[in-house]
């Protein structure tokens, strides 16, 4: 099984954000969605995966986390997260 940055998606409800992506990114997102389906045995459309991909990026971006802590105080909580199940290993 592939070691993807995001875990299998939980049940969810969304707010809508629209953005445009260049063709190379669209191809890469489609490839990621295909690998996600192979890994978890359940395909998900790219728009369902993007919020979890962005969340994984924000949680792993040390400069963002450091700047966020400095801006909000040393003991501040990390950015809000979605209700994701534990990552399978």
Specify the 3-state DSSP secondary structure of 83: coil
pTM over 0.95: no
> Domain range spanning residue 53?
23-71
The answer as to whether 10 is a domain residue is no
35 in a structural domain? yes
The answer to whether the CB of 9 falls within 8 A of the CB of 83 is: no
As a whole number of angstroms, the distance between CA 45 and CA 12 comes to 14
Q: What is the pLDDT of residue 3?
A: 87
- Sequence-ordered list of residues with C-beta below 8 angstroms from that of 33, at least 6 positions apart, any chain: 43, 44, 45, 46, 49
Domain membership of residue 50 (yes or no) is: yes
Domain count, the chain: 1
The CA-CA-CA angle for residues 79, 85, 88, to 5°, reads 115
> pLDDT tens track of the chain, all 89 residues?
788 888 888 877 878 889 999 999 999 999 999 999 999 999 999 999 999 999 999 999 999 999 988 888 865 555 556 655 444 44
């Amino acid at each position: 099984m592939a070691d993807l940055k995001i875990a299998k998606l939980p049940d969810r409800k969304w707010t809508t954000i629209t953005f445009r992506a260049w063709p190379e990114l669209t191809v890469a997102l489609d490839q990621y969605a295909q690998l996600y389906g192979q890994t978890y045995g359940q395909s998900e459309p790219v728009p369902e995966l993007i919020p979890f991909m962005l969340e994984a990026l924000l949680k792993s971006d040390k400069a963002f986390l450091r700047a966020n802590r400095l801006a909000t105080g040393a003991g501040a909580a990390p950015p809000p997260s979605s209700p994701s199940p534990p990552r399978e290993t």
